[in-house]
Structure 1
Amino acid sequence: MQRTWESAYGWFIVQTYRKDYHAPRQITNKDSQQPFMNITFSEFIRFMTDYEDVLRLDGGTDHFLPQSTIASPCAIHYDFIGHFENLSTEASYMLTFLGVDHIVQYPGISASKAEKKFVDEYRKVPLELLYKLEKFYHADYELFGYSFNDTLKRIIGSRSDYDN
């Protein structure tokens, strides 16, 4: 997946955001692939927020475009909108609502390191990019009952370099 994504957007990102970037020399061994470009999360966020007006929904953008764009919550009258962090409770509710809880059960949820990974990755992102990202996802925050300030508190924690 990374190679597919990098072939679609990677070159544009590195050429736009990396000063003095030189493409790797061609690899002569036909069985080898070009090395990954190692797009950073900050570069990716900068790309998303700088080019949000031209990004269109497709197989490469459907993982990061705002849900308010993808799911059209104002045009479609959904019976239920769940939150991933409540999945264990809401999945059982949804199965009952659908009338299939006697057929299928939602499996238990194992402990996850997702919160730590979330915080670790977002702590590497400069504060000004976090604010641009909030603007990018502003409608999602509003429509789905989230708070950017709560998210920021989780990310910043005790980081003294964000104490501005």
Structure 2
Amino acid sequence: VACTNWKRVMMVLTGQGKYRDPLEIPAHEAHVPSNLRTLSEYSVAEINARLRTYLKFVFVREPLERLVSAYRNKFTLSYNTAFHKRYGTKIVRRHRPQPSQRALERGDDVRFEEFVYYLLDPRTQQEEPFNEHWERVHSLCHPCIIHYDVVGKYETLAEDAKYILQLVGADASVKFPASSKTTRTTDDMTAQFFQDISPFYQRRLFNLYKMDYLLFNYSIPSYLRLR
């Protein structure tokens, strides 16, 4: 959740003056692996020391809203060709009756219901782990193993991010980038995506993400038809 902007903020905090404003950093540069060190680059002793002494935080989001956001970003935007090729072509091949040759080759027109079928297909996780954008947060961030000092929420992102920056003693000039309210996925938008998903598949999808609902205190969405 808000991974790109957090990486931008961390680059400002660790960049030795190279950047002063997180929004100056292009999104693609924020994801260059060499710009920020990860735990895997340290020894086991160094990792354990950091897990004991560093401030640890994780941000979560309403699980199905996060899922629809991932679908919209990775499968409906023309520039995400890497996702279209890697995942879209497979989804079309397996979950669309009589797909066109163009769809098989490009994978750039995946429907939301096809994406749902892909997530619930046992073959998907047998072949490889879920992509991080739709993996369950409890599987991705291990909150039952790592003791997070702060569990922030997307719904209160601005306030929670400000609080974390205060905790780490960041300069007051460092601001967490504001999110775009015009393009973000909302609860109403998520409800629209689920209108055409049958109750059977809604129930199975909810069960797939149920642990995230329980761990992070999210209520069952009113639009879901689970019976």
TM-score exceeds 0.5: yes
Contact in 1 for aligned 2:84/2:108 (Cα 8 Å): yes
Gaps of 5+ in 2: 1-78
Residue 101 of structure 1: how far off its partner (Å): 5.2
Contact in 2 for aligned 1:42/1:129 (Cα 8 Å): no
Q: Residue 197 of structure 2 aligns to a residue in which SS?
A: coil
Residue 122 of structure 1: how far off its partner (Å): 2.8
Residue 107 of structure 1: how far off its partner (Å): 4.9
Structure with more helix by fraction: 2
The verdict on how the C-alpha distance between 1:119 and 1:97 changes in structure 2, with shifts beyond 3 A counting, is same
Q: RCO (CA 8 Å, sep 6+): is it higher in 1 or 2?
A: 2
Separation in 2 of the partners of 1:41 and 1:107? Answer: 29
Aligned to 1:62: 132
Q: CA RMSD in A?
A: 2.8
130-139 vs 64-73, greater mean Cα deviation: 130-139
The verdict on how the C-alpha distance between 1:2 and 1:130 changes in structure 2, with shifts beyond 3 A counting, is farther
What fraction of aligned residue pairs are identical, expressed as a percent? 24
Contact in 1 for aligned 2:203/2:226 (Cα 8 Å): no
Aligned runs of 1:59-98 on 2, under 5 Å?
61-98=131-168
Separation in 2 of the partners of 1:119 and 1:62? Answer: 23
Q: Does residue 94 of structure 2 align to residue 21 of structure 1?
A: no
TM-score by length of 1: 0.73
Separation in 2 of the partners of 1:56 and 1:8? Answer: 14
103-112 vs 113-122, greater mean Cα deviation: 103-112
Residue 5 of structure 1: how far off its partner (Å): 1.6
TM-score by length of 2: 0.55
Q: Does residue 47 of structure 2 align to residue 47 of structure 1?
A: no
Give aligned pairs, total: 145
